[in-house]
Chain A
């Protein structure tokens, strides 16, 4: 479904030195990245990191204070209209009209984007099919559960066959099975050539992205594929400890003051260690000396969330306290 305007060869999104200041406050500071066509790209960061500000600039809703950005080949400042026509946007609030039926919502968004008559009919059929909403066209949107509403909102955002789709926290509060279905739809869209830029808090979800950037206090602090980021951005390694008394173990390990992080995972403990070779035997000894039975102590692969937190803390050290 890609584009009809000859811009199909460059990256889908090119951001160079993008900056946004509000008075003295630098919300986005010299951020650069590229997103390939048909890629699922994750844009991650804590609340207030500058994610939404960046997206608003990419959508042409906010004028950058510096730098430039092109979306599907068009400049977001000089060619805002051209950009808007070619992109879709789904916000975390699912901007649907609850008082309208499923079909009326699609009609409404079709109207907004100038999708008419035959084309509209065709797109509606496709979307209802995709979202699994065939036969529920006349249901009031308010009566849909979270997962259905989410898929309808996705449908509304792609009614005009956008080349790039921006998803802002699309799965907040949606259950795991609905999230899985949603991601399958996103994969299908990407494979058909739509570029996807998604922001999310949930790191297990970020694993679905082919490439990611982490943004922290307006700065880009990491970029790469989930695997690359796990290798390059984890400060320390994760050690998992299985003992007979996790509560006591946790306070013993905290008291050692050696670890970046000591966290409880059910009956297991994860610590982040800067020196696995030295710490593995030390952990075992400290716990057994205190009378605990240690079933296992081993290094495990970090999750993307481990990496994110490690990276965020490192950035706080470099950029100043929160």
Chain B
């Protein structure tokens, strides 16, 4: 077994008729990493996870997962992985404890270790106080945590999570990620799909998927460093006080300026990617001043993952 990578794909592809959902994927994940697969709807993230979970056959290519051959040993792979689908099934009429016991039966968790493991997982998922509650009556965040506990019942080396926090409120989401950090601490490898870029920020490494291809991969820091130019933030202020067309006018002016790569809005603030701040600041100031617009609270900021992602994806779209 190639011990450097716990998941390694070779030209993995999935076609549905004429549609290429996943195209020649070369993915390498090291043991113990939290690897985030991010990308727009239809990029192929879910299909990738399903193939790697050995529940969908690839059209081409292959993968080695925990030293096992995806095409030849799918059943052994299933024992090594935990998988939480986007729409995972819990039994609403069963209690928290009954649900987790059910999954222990399905995976044949031996009686010797079962009690201790269930206790540990419930504690881990902060569900110990709720063991008797029916799953159908749990909050959204608690359901996700129970789903996670069930996916971990057979102590898998690798955990696949497909958009685990969609519809979960911020406090529960933070708790969920704290649990993942705990798994990471214990050496579990986590592959997580997410459309939320602030979650990508919490991964050890991130892969950006677009049109079935992995277009970039690296640490969040490396990905952000790929974005061309520098980012400034300011608040446009009009000399005329309340000015309804201010945003649109500011936008138009900025987009006509040389050196401006991209303009994004956050509430009253504007974020502008420029090729060089030192060079362009006086020019932008002059252009806006000609329209009685001042740049208040001007500062340079680091791009967030979301800005990096949109910038890189838009570039892809223009290139193709």
- Of the residues B198, B204, B247, B267, contact of A267 by C-beta under 8 Å: B204
Question: Per-residue 0/1 for B245-283: is the Cβ within 8 Å of any A Cβ (1 yes, 0 no)?
Answer: 111100000000000000011111000000000000000
A198 CB to nearest B CB, Å: 12
Chain B interface residue count, Cβ-Cβ cutoff 8 angstroms: 54
Check A146/B41 contact, CB under 8 A, given A203-B170, A308-B170. yes
- B40 touching A48, Cβ below 8 Å: no
Query: Which residues of B have CB within 8 Å of A203?
Result: 170, 198
Q: How far is the CA of A180 from the CA of B314 in the complex (A)?
A: 11
- A250 touching B170, Cβ below 8 Å: no
- A46 touching B310, Cβ below 8 Å: no
Query: Which residues of B have CB within 8 Å of A82?
Result: none
Q: How far is the CA of A267 from the CA of B197 in the complex (A)?
A: 16
Query: Which residues of A have CB within 8 Å of B266?
Result: 207-208, 226
B139 on the interface (CB 8 Å rule)? yes
Q: How far is the CA of A209 from the CA of B265 in the complex (A)?
A: 10
A173 on the interface (CB 8 Å rule)? yes
Chain A interface residue count, Cβ-Cβ cutoff 8 angstroms: 48
* Segment at the B interface, from A11-19, A26-34, A94-102, A183-191: A183-191
* Segment at the B interface, from A71-79, A112-120, A258-266, A284-292: A258-266
Question: Per-residue 0/1 for A163-180: is the Cβ within 8 Å of any B Cβ (1 yes, 0 no)?
Answer: 000000100111111101
A197 CB to nearest B CB, Å: 14
Q: How far is the CA of A125 from the CA of B138 in the complex (A)?
A: 45
- A267 touching B219, Cβ below 8 Å: yes
Q: How far is the CA of A174 from the CA of B197 in the complex (A)?
A: 12
CB under 8 Å from chain B, chain A span 271-322? 303, 305, 308-309, 312-313
* B177 nearest in chain A by CB position: A263
A236 on the interface (CB 8 Å rule)? no
Query: Which residues of A have CB within 8 Å of B202?
Result: 263-266
A126 on the interface (CB 8 Å rule)? no
- Of the residues A145, A180, A309, A313, contact of B42 by C-beta under 8 Å: A145
CB under 8 Å from chain B, chain A span 215-258? 225-226, 247, 250-251
- Some 16 contacts from A to B, beta carbons below 8 A apart, are A40-B267, A45-B169, A146-B41, A172-B167, A173-B163, A175-B40, A176-B309, A176-B310, A178-B41, A188-B248, A191-B248, A201-B173, A202-B170, A263-B177, A263-B178, A266-B34
Chain A residues proximal to chain B, CB less than 8 Å: 38, 40, 45-48, 145-147, 169, 172-178, 180, 183-184, 187-188, 191, 193, 201-204, 207-210, 225-226, 247, 250-251, 263-267, 303, 305, 308-309, 312-313
